[in-house]
Structure 1
Amino acid sequence: AGQIRFLRASDLMDEGTYWETVLRCSKGMSLARARRTFSIMGRTEDSSDDDLAAFFYPPMQAADIFRLKVDIAFGGMDQRKAHMYMRDVADRNGWNKATCIHTPMLSGLKGKQGGRMDSFDHKMSKSDPSNAIILHDSPKTMRKKLRKAFLDVQDSDSPVYEIIDHIILPQLGSMTVTPKPEFGEPSEWSDIEELTKAVSNGDLHPFDLKMATADSLSEILEPLREYFDSNNQLMNQIMEITG
């Protein structure tokens, strides 16, 4: 057997000591300290005074890490405040503090939609497939999704720019934008700042950039698609589980 073990949340919570740990993670922590973690739920610090359940989340998140004996807690940037809460709890109780590693958050394809950037309520999530790139999406599906993706040519935090900056350029080194022949020649880009400047100046059309983004993502994910195409029983099982 390998070293990976899958554990249901119910298995953890049914242990006799889990809720004791949750209470100990709550002891000595003020409501103000708990509020500072609320960005993990896409909320502002002052938005949950009428929702007691929101205050249970930080100690439960910390308790999960302690009960699982996590050495390295890996998550998106939205997890930072909750993880710092966990480390404060560890200091108070003399418990082992997990090392925390946080990665950038990709925005959903629909953009911020009026949300605050620091609330992370705009992040890409599989719960809304039309707002996210799913790893086994076909090239046609990716083009359809990127065609509709939000792109503010002046905003470097636009989801299309983020995908290029965090995924395509690190993986491929450069990307080629190919407009229709009547609209210009193909161009190759390896610097995100030069690319965004060309789009904002009108040297590159946003539509051409979106299609180049879709094609580059398809190239990166092709090995994964090939694997699941030849092992479709695995994908069928996943779809049965996730619905």
Structure 2
Amino acid sequence: MVMSVDKRIELITRNLQEIIGEKELYKKLKSKKEFSIYWGTMPTGPVSLAYFFPMLKISDFLKAGIKVKILLADLHSALDGVSWDLLEKRYKYYEMAINLILKTIGTDTKNLEFVKGSKFQLNKNYFNDLLKLSTFTTVNKAKHSASEAVKTARDNPKLAGLIYPLMQALDEEYLKADAQFAGLDQRKIMAYARDFLPKIDYKQRIELMSPMIRGLIGKQMSSSIEGSKIDLLDDEKTVRNKINKAEYIAGNLDNGIISLLKYLIMVLKKDNGKKFVVEREKKYGGNLEYSNYNEVEKDFINKKIHPLDLKNAVAKEINLLLTNFRNNKKLKEFFKKAYS
């Protein structure tokens, strides 16, 4: 059965925060021409639960009949401070971990391709274009563009961090993508790409951005904030402890528990036709069952769910998701080589 344009658009835009070039997106989809999206990541720190969020969107793109390329940007990792002798080890670990996430959420990967950055970013034409782009880009512009996404571009930046946004812009062209998908923290780089690629005679791309996911502690999941994120290889007890310690004000939606529910757990439940269950003793009213996120949010705002009950239910769901990772010996071996 052929999916309608409206259904494709619904899948592609689900849970996105912003689209630059929305009219172009609709026009492209209605033309029924082949459409491709790329998403890139640097193989830096250990893959965390946060990677489930972009993978759910990639799953949406694939369901909508979009061709997707995942760029594992090994050279970008080096520019952001990863030791050169670890690049290949990190690449292998990331490729395996991301594939396992996609398998866990039931993604059909027929139209998915993994691309290694150094396979095309070291060729002559790419380097020539990088030099061309640099002649149009001021230091201040490069620093501004990279400031939210590249740690080496802050304060007293290294040159490496300033090259980063130029390369990310060129990746759109060299991956032959119609659109780039990323988190909202990449917005300045994506806006740079829209403005500067035409200066070297390349077309603008559509930019798709997902919201930044709230950390369990602090504003976002970050390795620099202890307890803010859950790693793929965390054991069950560690997951429960992190979720129990998560910042949480009853009735206030601005917390990491709600982010996990809205953008991960309830998306999977809805797609699989299952309910989210909050277990409670009969003397407190018995179990609560939810078919969609809005139902959970309503009860949360009205303080009908006890914080501990909700945290326990979320911890149970996350631990079920991570079972495949904890039991995968090869992934653990790759992790050890990449981070020993």
Aligned to 1:116: none
Aligned partner of 1:148 in structure 2 is 245
Do 1:72 and 1:100's aligned partners in 2 also have CA atoms closer than 8 Å? Answer: yes
Cα pair distance change 1:171/1:68, threshold 3 Å: closer
Percent identical residues: 27
Question: Does the CA-based 8 Å contact 1:147-1:210 persist in structure 2?
Answer: yes
> Where does residue 147 of structure 2 map in the other structure?
38
In the superposition, the TM-score normalised over structure 2's length comes to 0.54
Which residue matches 1:80? 187
Measure, in 1, the Cα distance between the counterparts of 2:114 and 2:317.
34
Question: Whose RCO is larger (CA < 8 A, sep 6+)?
Answer: 2
Q: Which residue of 2 aligns with 1:102?
A: 209
Amino acid at match of 1:166: Y
Q: Does 1:61 align with 2:168?
A: yes
| Aligned pairs for 1:188-203 within 5 A | 188-203=289-304
Amino acid in structure 1 at the alignment position of 2:183: G
Q: Is the Cα–Cα contact under 8 Å of residues 171 and 220 in structure 1 kept in the other structure?
A: no
> Unaligned stretches of 5+ in structure 1?
113-121
Structure-2 separation of matches of 1:216 and 1:205:
17
Instruction: Give the residue type in structure 2 aligned to 1:172.
Output: K
In structure 2, relative to structure 1, the CA distance for the partners of 1:233 and 1:40 (3 Å cut) is: closer
| C-alpha distance in structure 2 between counterparts of 1:51 and 1:126, whole Å | 21
**Contact 2:172–2:179 under 8 Å retained in 1:** no
Partner of 1:235: 332
Q: SS at 2:258's partner residue?
A: helix
CA RMSD in angstroms, aligned pairs only: 3.5
Question: How far apart are the structure 2 equivalents of 1:209 and 1:145?
Answer: 14
Contact 2:251/2:301 (CA < 8 Å) preserved in 1? yes
Of residues 119, 124, 130, the one that matches 1:22 is 130
Instruction: State the match for 1:92 in structure 2.
Output: 199
C-alpha offsets along residues 180-226 of structure 1, whole Å, 9 cap, x if unaligned?
A: 4554421112343443343344322112111111112233444x34x
Deviation (angstroms), 1:38: 2.7
Query: What does residue 162 of structure 1 align with?
Result: 259
Q: CA deviation at 1:136?
A: 4.1
In structure 2, the gaps of 5 or more residues are: 1-109
Give the length in aligned residue pairs. 224
Q: 1: CA distance between counterparts of 2:198 and 2:204?
A: 8
Q: Structure 1: which amino acid aligns with 2:262?
A: D
Name the stretch that deviates more: 142-151 or 72-81: 72-81
Return the offset for 1:162: 0.8
- 1:111 correspondence with 2:218: yes
Shift of 1:82: 0.8
TM-score between both structures, scaled by the size of structure 1? 0.72
